[in-house]
Amino acid sequence: MNHHRDPLEPTNVQRAQWAKAALTVFTAETYGGDHPETMDSGDLETAISDLICDLLHFARFQPRMDAAEIHSHALGMFEQEIAEEANCDCPDGS
């Protein structure tokens, strides 16, 4: 059964754009000014992993936050959003 996307809900393309913006700032600070669009795929994968890892370190140092639970929850949300995208008959495929 296909579903229509709620127009108030962001698309996965929008989510990816937000992540790219964060990654751009991160790589400028930590990868000598590299930009995600110019990095080779191996370095880009490493930078993405590093950013996720550093976000979990940030969470660990916040009172009453469980980094492992945040990681697990994020992975579950990612999988759900991918599944919703696959089941959507939206004109833009999102």
DSSP per residue, 5-31: PPTTSPPHHHHHHHHHHHHHHHHHHHS
The pLDDT assigned to 7 comes to 73
CB within 8 Å of 35: residues ≥ 6 apart: 24, 27, 28
Q: Where are the domains of the chain?
A: 12-86
- pLDDT-derived band at 80 (thresholds 50, 70, 90) equals very high
Report whether pLDDT(21) > 60.
yes
Report whether pLDDT(27) > 80.
yes
| Percentage of the chain exceeding pLDDT 70 | 87
Strand partners, 91: none
What is the average pLDDT across 79-86?
93
Q: Of 5-9, 36-40, 60-64, 80-84, which gets the smallest average pLDDT?
A: 5-9
Q: How far is CA 36 from the centre of its chain?
A: 13
Strand partners, 88: 3
